[in-house]
Amino acid sequence: MAKAPPSISLLLLLSTAVFLTIPAAISAIGVNYGTLGNLPPPTQVANFLKTQTSIDSVKIFNVDPNILRAFAGTGISVVVTVPNGDIPALANGMEARRWVSANILPFHPQTKIKYISVGNEILLTGDSNMISKLLPAMRSLNSALFRAGIRDIKVTTAHSLNIIAYDLHGAPSRGRFRPGWDKGILAPILAYHRQTKSPFMVNPYPYFGFDPKNVNFAIFRSPYKAVRDPFTRKIYTNMYDALMDSTYSAMKALGYGDVNIVIGETGWPSACDAPWCSPANAAWFNLNVIKRAQGQGTPLMPKRRFETYIFGLFNEEGKPGPTAERNWGLFRADFSPVYDVGLLRNGGGKRPAPALPAPSTAAGGKWCVAKSGATNAQLQGNIDW
């Protein structure tokens, strides 16, 4: 068990306290903007993101014209998503041109559309027709954009990490794509990405599939049970890095390790039907993901920066399913933060962020917390010490 000494634990916690009070220290980050619930209209959302946060990009799960119009002129980039059911038709070049004419041309370039994601996690659906038409649809849409004179929008598709074949807790350097999907489906997709200089988009979620006996490994917190790759001798202190390096290893095994990777979705719910969901755990997870977006990298990709879209912008009360499904948001419907990861400018928002609860100690260990009356100068003095 890896466990930080008390002085390091104190340093980490005090650093977080300061970090949360200085939003300028956070570089811009993207978010997934879902709309299932009684949420504010897109115009208010766009204005909030532009004026109150450092969020510079959003990813939506459709091509809602109201959202696209709302983000016109904001400078915030938008990733749009082709509904899964539209994919087979878009393999036809004429249909792809019609789709671009209807869903892109009326809004571009006033709205800064950055990517078109052709469906979401298509291989996970198991639908053979959609899977076989996925790459042809991507190519058709890319050609349609070129025919329309658009050169600044890239076409991609988002993948669940069920595309990886083996136990991701083992050796990340031996990550491989599933047989049948590797050379037949994913290699041609990766070749397309290399050719068009578009990113390979993946959705790494440690929340799905972590070991309940090693929760801290999933959320970047000490103490944790580390994983050692027996082939590279690299030590993994968190599951996120293991997932990313497994993906990179699978790409490299097919000869496409140079293709850029974008994080389409990742996050941690602030509430669920288990003790490992809390605002503190969600904040800690996302803070560490943001560090990697800023360039911290992973053991096999130490110098890479990952363009990242946190899931999600709002708690979506209209989502069905277990409690977690409605509690992935950074913000509530009134724009107040569920927890603070430093993305608000000057403490913006309708009401102050609630104080973070004490970090979970489900896996054992003790934590020190700063006194409520401590000033930033006092906290900085402790950190300097």
Other Cβ atoms within 10 Å of 352 Cβ, number: 11
Catalytic residue chosen out of the listed positions 95, 265, 317, 325: 265
The answer to whether the beta carbons of residues 175 and 245 sit under 8 Å apart is: yes
From the number of C-beta atoms within 10 Å of its C-beta (0-12, 13-18, 19+), residue 186 rates as buried
- CA angle 291/78/92 to nearest 5° reads 125
Gap between the Cα atoms of 266 and 124, Å rounded: 17
From the number of C-beta atoms within 10 Å of its C-beta (0-12, 13-18, 19+), residue 231 rates as exposed
The question of whether 325 is a catalytic residue gets the answer: no
Gap between the Cα atoms of 5 and 14, Å rounded: 14
The question of whether 95 is a catalytic residue gets the answer: no
The answer to whether the beta carbons of residues 201 and 158 sit under 8 Å apart is: yes
Strand ranges (E), the chain: 30-32, 57-59, 77-82, 113-120, 154-160, 200-203, 227-228, 235-236, 261-266, 307-311
The answer to whether the beta carbons of residues 310 and 289 sit under 8 Å apart is: yes
The answer to whether the beta carbons of residues 4 and 13 sit under 8 Å apart is: no
> Which residue in 357, 200, 208 sits closest to 269, CA to CA?
208
User: HSE of 280 in the Cβ direction (CA atoms, 13 Å)?
Assistant: 17
Catalytic residue chosen out of the listed positions 95, 121, 316, 325: 121
Q: Which tokens is 165 given? A: 């074949």
Q: Which residues are catalytic?
A: 121, 265
